[in-house]
Amino acid sequence: MKKKQVTFFIITLMTLNSIISQEITLHSTKYNVWIENATIILKTGKTLSGRFKLYLPPGNSAFSSNQSLAFKENRKSKKIKFKAKDIDRVSFVNSLSDTVVYNCVRVSNRKYLLLQNLIHDKCSLYASRSYVGNIPYYYYTIKEDDSIATIMNSNGPFRSFRKQSLSVFQSCKSLVELIKERKLREWDIIDVVRKYNNCEE
């Protein structure tokens, strides 16, 4: 690859990362770091208040293990670990006074992740930071009647944002045309999902 092509590729990735980061509610969450003053609602309906540590997702493979979370009522209390599939919702207020919400999302037959909720509607949108490859965030969508979320972008050519979007949003022809014409791209994912939810076709 020529030097100019490499430079263009790097600049494109940096721009994509910057644009997407501006769209996502900025928060202080870091994997493997304790977050204070959180509320955790389990699938059983039980509510816990205290601090939590979200462990790094185990990978993008459908065969990798489920994500987990550690909880403490306070700094001196004993740590309790929960699997993502046992949790309904995690919420806390970040340093910008914004409420950040994570939900348990089923991403394959056996795999569950705790993903940040960006849009909750007939088609909901979730995000997870990526620490592998050249993608800053993984995006997932799930419609009201679906039980498994669809990943909208990945490092592989078979699940590109464009290909996934043309399939997921095929019932909205006007939106499909915008995607086909490349007027809406991966960094427009929030706008894409909003347009789909407001589509009356």
Yes or no: say if 53 and 38 are a contact pair by the CB < 8 Å rule.
Answer: no
- Is residue 187 over pLDDT 50? yes
Band the pLDDT of 200: cuts 50, 70, 90.
confident
**pTM here?**
0.80
128, 135 in Cβ contact below 8 A? Answer: no
61: left (phi over 0), alpha (psi -120 to 50) or beta: beta
Q: Which residue has the tokens 């644009």?
A: 19
- Phi and psi of 20, rounded to 5°? -65, -40
Number of separate domains in the chain? 1
Q: In this structure, what is the dihedral angle of CA atoms 172, 176, 177, 182, given to the nearest 10 degrees?
A: 150
Lowest mean pLDDT among 33-37, 44-48, 160-164: 160-164
Residue 129 has pLDDT above 50, yes or no: yes
Range of the structural domain that residue 22 is part of: 3-197
What are 65-122's pLDDT values in tens digits? Answer: 678 999 999 999 999 999 999 999 999 988 778 889 999 999 988 889 999 999 999 9
Q: What is the pLDDT of residue 66?
A: 78
pLDDT at 16: 47
* Average pLDDT over all residues of the chain: 82
Q: Which residues of 147-184 are buried (b: 16+ CB within 10 A; e: fewer)?
A: eebbbbbbeeeeeebeebbeebbeebeebbebbeeeeb
pLDDT of residue 9: 45
Mapped to the 3 state alphabet, what secondary structure does 49-113 carry? EEEEEECCCCCCCCCCCCCEEEEECCCCCCCEEEEHHHEEEEEEECCCCCEEEEEEEECCCCCEE
When pLDDT is averaged across residues 1-9 and rounded to a whole number, the result is: 51
pLDDT band of 60, cuts 50, 70, 90: low
Predicted pLDDT at 153: 85
Q: What is the pLDDT of residues 140-156, one digit of tens each?
A: 999 999 999 999 987 55
Residue 45 in tokens: 């309906």
Confidence band for 55, pLDDT divided at 50, 70 and 90? confident
Residue 201 has pLDDT above 70, yes or no: yes
